[in-house]
Structure 1
Amino acid sequence: MIGRNWFRPRPRSEEAPVTDLFSGDETRAPSFQNAVDAIPGWSCHFPVEYGLSAGKLPTFDDPRITWAMERFGDLSGRTVLELGPLEASHTYMLAKAGAHVDAVEANRLAFLKCLVAREILDFPNARFYLGDFVQWLEQTETRYDLIVASGVLYHMRDPLRLLRAMSERADAIYLWTVIVDDDRLAPSATQRFEGLDMRLYARGYGDRSVAFCGGSMDFPNWMHRNDVLAALRALGYEEITVLDDIIGTAGNTLPTFSVFARRRPAEG
């Protein structure tokens, strides 16, 4: 099990200054690499056939997204909402499978990276929007065939609000998130949700930099594994499939899981 202090909030440092992206001229011969180099702090590695130097994560061929697409079925012509596309690697996979993707990203640098990735990889059936995806979910009247939320739930101050908002926009959702799986850990708070008591665990971010991939607000609340599943069942999702995994960060091994959830569409 993970040590009892692994969720303890950490003090937030001053954000590192970001180079002015729009000053000066590029003096090298035009290339895709120039566009990548213009934005600092890439996390993901472009498909190897492009020969580009960016980040290290091989998420343009992510087995978690492949797994989710296999659970859903044929995406040709389907509408997908992606929350927090980061650098458009998962957007690329979804669009390549034939989906029409709306991708909403709050981080300005990540949004610009998504635009660069789309220009390089040329997937026109995706639109990127800069802003808060919870407000998008709560204000749009659009219903989607699938919502993809990889790496966002554990960055939310109110993760239950996000789950409810997602449930109102799609009958099929995919989540990948860090979770709490140790029943010995005392929650920071509990929240009543659909008649159930949900445990919340406050988590602070460490130092931020231009490569920061977290949420827009400090002190998000993580959820217990069992509570995520209970919340989805309470929201009417009958088909729930789980794929457990772990990630290693800063000397800790954090429990994570992928969840594909689907419910029968409402009649009429």
Structure 2
Amino acid sequence: MTLDTLQSAGPAAPSTAAERAVAERAPWFHNLHLPDGTQTAPDHPLGDFPAFKWREIAPHVPDDLSGWRVLDIGSNAGFYAFELARRGADVTGLELDPHYIAQAEWAAEQFGLADRVRFRQGTVYDLARMDETFDLVWFMGVFYHLRYPLLALDLVARAAERLVVFQTLTAPGEAAAAPPENLPIDAREQMAQPGWPQMAFIEHRLAGDPTNWWAPNAAACEALLRSAGLRVASRPGHEIWVAERAAEDPNAAARAAELQAVAGDGA
């Protein structure tokens, strides 16, 4: 068989019950490794995604999460939710797309984790109307898709009692300047210097996706986390931060007032 024949033949027809079930629930964005060895997205353009991201983050999250309540925002097919549940956590996955929720609920049954993981439809903004808190809020792959990103991060920080795992698409550049406590109005040229916290606004599309709105640089990511009352505890990999509640939070009062205005009686 020639290379051209192989390329034109396409993937083999599903032969096992698991493969047929996976095919029926396609397309998949998470490549889950099912108990029988079947993979849900073995030809993912990013590789074994998101397993390679998890391998970076896993050492920065407690091995024993027994008693921890976790919220996975944008949970998709549930990869991270399942990994955290295996460490003993009680996990809620929040996902907007019912297609991914159906995938995740089916996969939870395959992994025997349906009693530790539940999925519900919603977005990060639903936290404005919730008084529920979690030990860990998992906030990966969502921030740059949001029209109101700092509002979302404030809501995440308010809901997190211990840790936040944060990941976002970023603009190039790892430099980080130390902005002054009070920038004079006639010294704004400093904002254009390397390392100043900046977010690039994407008016049209990035990678063909009209929901890619923002690309903060690394300095902006850390500044945004600080502004939300969090302290960077570690940086597991490129575009990934683990944060915890800061001991001092000078923006707390102003942030609470604005969140109250957004949430109304639900705050």
* TM-score relative to the length of structure 2: 0.68
Deviation at 1:109, TM superposition (A): 1.5
Report whether the alignment pairs 1:66 with 2:50. no
Q: Which has the higher strand share?
A: 1
Contact 1:76 1:97 in 2 (8 A): yes
Report whether the alignment pairs 1:153 with 2:143. yes
1:134 maps to which residue? 125
Which amino acid in the other structure matches residue 61 of structure 2?
M
Distance in structure 1 (CA, Å) of the matches to 2:247 and 2:108 = 32
2:224 maps to which residue? 231
Distance in structure 2 (CA, Å) of the matches to 1:93 and 1:112 = 18
Structure 1 unaligned blocks of 5 or more: 1-27, 185-195, 209-216, 246-256
Q: Which has the higher helix share?
A: 2
Larger CA deviation: 44-53 vs 168-177: 44-53
Contact 1:157 1:219 in 2 (8 A): no
Deviation at 1:64, TM superposition (A): 3.3
Deviation at 1:148, TM superposition (A): 0.5
Deviation at 1:183, TM superposition (A): 8.7
2:106 maps to which residue? 116
Q: CA RMSD in A?
A: 2.9
Contact 2:101 2:121 in 1 (8 A): yes
Partner SS for 1:50: coil
Q: Which has the higher contact order (CA 8 A, sep 6+)?
A: 1
Which amino acid in the other structure matches residue 155 of structure 1?
H
Runs of 4+ aligned residues of structure 1 deviating over 4 Å after TM superposition are 205-208
Distance in structure 1 (CA, Å) of the matches to 2:169 and 2:208 = 19
2:17 maps to which residue? 31
Which amino acid in the other structure matches residue 258 of structure 1?
I
Which amino acid in the other structure matches residue 140 of structure 1?
M
Contact 2:133 2:160 in 1 (8 A): yes
Matching residue within 233, 239, 242 for 2:235: 242
Aligned residues: 206
Alignment map for 1:172-251 (pairs within 5 Å): 172-182=163-173, 199-203=198-202, 204-207=205-208, 218-245=211-238
Cα–Cα, structure 1 residues 50 and 125, in superposed 2: closer, same or farther, change >3 Å?
same
Contact 2:74 2:123 in 1 (8 A): no
Cα–Cα, structure 1 residues 198 and 108, in superposed 2: closer, same or farther, change >3 Å?
farther
1:168 maps to which residue? 158
Which amino acid in the other structure matches residue 47 of structure 1?
H
* TM-score relative to the length of structure 1: 0.67
Distance in structure 2 (CA, Å) of the matches to 1:220 and 1:157 = 7
Deviation at 1:220, TM superposition (A): 1.6
Structure 2 unaligned blocks of 5 or more: 1-13, 43-47, 176-190, 249-267
Deviation at 1:51, TM superposition (A): 2.3
